[in-house]
Amino acid sequence: MRLKYKLTISELVILSGIYCFSRHQATLFSLPMIKRYISYYNYNKARYYIGSLVDKGVICISDFRRDQPLYKLTDKGIEVLNAYQDAYNIAMAKYFQDNNIEL
């Protein structure tokens, strides 16, 4: 699945964090806002992955505030996250079925 969308693990971590932030805090976000929310990466790494996600079309620049770009998830970004969630659900169902686990 990761190869289908050509995303690295780090890009997926950032994208998942962006999704959580967008759902619970604000639809638009800046790099410093996401950096504080996803504190695992240093500023330069976070900036690199944000730029990479923009290049891949899963997030886009929506506006500017104080010369700081504000980003938002695109439909493609939501599609990627939904596809990963579906793949996870299928893998878990298969695991439960293979190991005779009933919920």
Q: Quick one: pLDDT band at residue 1, thresholds 50, 70, 90?
A: low
Secondary structure of residue 23 in the 3-state scheme: helix
Residue 61's pLDDT is 96
What's the whole-number mean pLDDT along residues 43-65? 94
Q: How far is C-alpha 17 from the chain's CA centre? A: 6
> Residue 35's domain is classified under what CATH number?
1.10.10.10
Evaluate whether residue 13 is within a structural domain.
Answer: yes
Evaluate whether residue 60 is within a structural domain.
Answer: yes
Evaluate whether residue 102 is within a structural domain.
Answer: no
Taking only the tens place, the pLDDT of each residue in 20-32 is: 998 888 889 999 8
Q: Which domain holds residue 75?
A: 2-97
State if pTM tops 0.85.
no
Evaluate whether residue 53 is within a structural domain.
Answer: yes
Cα 63 to Cα 54: distance, rounded to the nearest angstrom: 14
Evaluate whether residue 89 is within a structural domain.
Answer: yes
* Total count of domains within the chain: 1
Q: Quick one: pLDDT band at residue 38, thresholds 50, 70, 90?
A: confident
